[in-house]
Amino acid sequence: METPVALLLELGVILAALSVLGALARRFTLSPIPLYLLTGLAVGEGGIAPVPAAGEFVGAGAAIGVILLLLVLGLEFSLQEFAVGLRRHVSSAVVDVVLNAAPGAVAGWLLGLDGVGVLALAGATYISSSGIVARLLSDLHRLGNRETPAVLSVLVLEDLAMAFYLPVLAVLASGGVWWQAVLGVLVAVGAVLVAFTVSYRWGHHLGRLVAHPDAEQLLLRVLGLTLIVAALAEFVHASAAVGAFLVGLALTGETATRTRAVLSPLRDLFAAVFFLAIGLSVDPADLLPVLPAALALAAVTLVTKVIVGRYAAFRDGVGRRGQWRAGTALIARGEFSLVIVGLVGTTHSTLGPLVTAYVFLLAIAGPLLTRFAGVLPVRPGPVTEAREGAPPPP
Amino acid sequence: MDVTEVLLPGVGLRYEFTNHRGDRIGVVARRTGDFEVVVYGTDDPDEGRSVFELNDEEADAVAEILGAPRIAERFADLTKEVPGLASGQVEVRAGSAFDGRPLGDTRARTLTGASVVAVVRGEEVIASPTPRTVLRGGDVLVVIGTHEGIAGVEQIIRG
């Protein structure tokens, strides 16, 4: 076997660069996703340091990255948590869909995208990044806060919406005449419902099938099963990512918990490659023309997400400051907005650069804003005087 | 004392209670097995200030420290003063051979020389149990004697 020196070197340098950037971002409690995107832009075509040899690996790695992202998303699903979220926050979820999908849809229509493009952009502006938000809440020590269940409930209900949205989008994006599309959508929704049923009624049997005390065996079995199902899904023109998601849904209980633990590092690695690939696929020259649209869209959906978060926290009886923390926590968009573009990207040339720029802006703005929302008093008033260390009032 | 349990979807659970001094305390139990203890402030009752974080192993250790019956402390002090004398705790497992049988049936003192000086049953402590005291699964026997004696009692109870 010949060792591909160029590939190893380029890949090594890229990973080392990602690690430095990621560590830097974590240092300031920011998301590393924008930096990964930037790195992708820099090493892509028209960038400053092209990497011809690593391109093929990055492409394959990105495909695996999406599959792992969605597999782990499926593993996170617990019907009990949905039941709780639905009971308390169904109205927050409705406000969320209306306020955050609408700006994307309107923008898509104004930009002259077709129906699939409009639907994709609506999804990209709707879905908060549960990865960034959950990490942020943990890093900022906000898991114990009273507004946190409201934030997490909104995220969980968004994930539920994605369970139906992604298969439908994947089918629509693959094209065909109207009756093929309708049939495809029905099959996709049916598949999700079947996965839910399997998960609910026979999840533990399926879990036993792949469960093994040895981590290596568990990893091989789950990955093997997932990749086979993903390939089959791709073969019938539903996306591979959606197939992986269905596998994740079907696995529950102890097996899901252990699989999540075993897969998480692998997911993080390949997700980084996926963000890199998204950056790679976008030509920096294409970014400038879409920047005004991305900025406008980011500004609008930043405000609408804050409204949703404040509303959800308000419903849980949280005070004004907690409401601001909840609102700002939800701003960050990330992996799933990019997954959506990955599903339709090849057919819509403006969508890739637009959503990349959009995610870039909000993945930076979200963590920054929510960090300061917790520190600064919302409105200087009598409440802050009682603070320790504050000078006594004259 | 009321402990409120709140589901944190995707993350785990949070327990909340107010202690005797009126501090509102929260414990976040994450799915990963880690714990975080927070105290809620007075200026913003919704914001929990993080006090400390524990991994699963540390949390087990803390639970053991806090959960140990207080009676054991006093015996530990006593055994420090008398060299060669030790105290230990032996649990009667549910379904063990002595679950439901009187203490006398174990013949622990006759066989090992160590004495069962108390039986801890949940919140209740039966001090100076008689041979007729009936044991139940989950009871913890407080045993005083030599190290070998305590080990012997443990062996008998375990069957």
CB proximity B22 to A under 8 Å = no
Q: Of A81, A84, A144, which has the smallest distance from its Cβ to B28's Cβ?
A: A144
Report CB contact under 8 Å: B9, A257: no
CA neighbor of A343 nearest in space, from A169, A121, A184: A169
Q: Which residues of A touch B8 (CB under 8 A)?
A: 143, 148-149, 152
The SS3 of residue A4 is coil
Distance from CA of B50 to the nearest CA of A (A): 6
Instruction: Give me the mean pLDDT over the B71-97 stretch.
Output: 73
Q: Is the predicted pLDDT of residue B104 greater than 50, yes or no?
A: yes
Q: Of B7, B36, B44, which has the smallest distance from its Cβ to A81's Cβ?
A: B7
Distances (CA, A) of B46 to A72, B20, B30, B38, B92: 31, 20, 19, 11, 44
Nearest residue of B to residue A322 by CA position?
A: B46
Give pLDDT, residue A384: 39
Q: Which two structure tokens, joined as six digits, stand for B81? A: 């003063």
Give pLDDT, residue A392: 43
Give pLDDT, residue A385: 38
Give pLDDT, residue B75: 60
Give pLDDT, residue A145: 92
Report CB contact under 8 Å: A143, B45: no
Q: State how far Cα A129 lies from the chain centre.
A: 4
Residue pairs between chains A and B whose CB atoms are closer than 8 Å = 81
Alpha-carbon dihedral angle through residues A93, A95, A101, A106, given to the nearest 10 degrees:
170
Q: Of A155, A257, A374, which has the smallest distance from its Cβ to B10's Cβ?
A: A155
Residue A177: how many other CB atoms lie within 10 Å: 7
Q: Which residues of B touch A153 (CB under 8 A)?
A: 9
Give pLDDT, residue A195: 82
Distance from CA of B152 to the nearest CA of A (A): 35
The one-character DSSP state at A237 is T
Residues 6+ away with beta carbon under 8 Å from A22: A32, A35, A36, A272
Cα separation, A6 vs B146, whole angstroms: 70
Report CB contact under 8 Å: A322, B47: yes
Q: Of B8, B32, B50, which has the smallest distance from its Cβ to A148's Cβ?
A: B8
Nearest residue of B to residue A140 by CA position?
A: B50
Give per-residue burial for B119-144: e unless 16+ CB within 10 Å, then b. bbeeeeebeebeeeeebbeebbbbbb
CB proximity A141 to B under 8 Å = yes
Residue A141: how many other CB atoms lie within 10 Å: 18
Residue range B26-82, pLDDT digits in tens: 999 998 889 999 999 888 888 888 999 999 899 988 888 887 665 556 665 666 667
**CB distance A274 to A37 below 8 Å:** no
- Tell me which residues of chain A have a pLDDT lower than 50: 380-394
Cα separation, A229 vs A238, whole angstroms: 11
Q: Which two structure tokens, joined as six digits, stand for B121? A: 């049953």
Q: Of B8, B31, B44, which has the smallest distance from its Cβ to A319's Cβ?
A: B44
Cα separation, A147 vs A315, whole angstroms: 10
Percent of chain B with pLDDT over 70: 91
Strands B24-30, B35-40: pairing kind: antiparallel
Residue range A327-352, pLDDT digits in tens: 999 999 988 999 998 888 667 788 98
What is the sign of the dihedral through the CA atoms of B66, B69, B70 and B72? negative
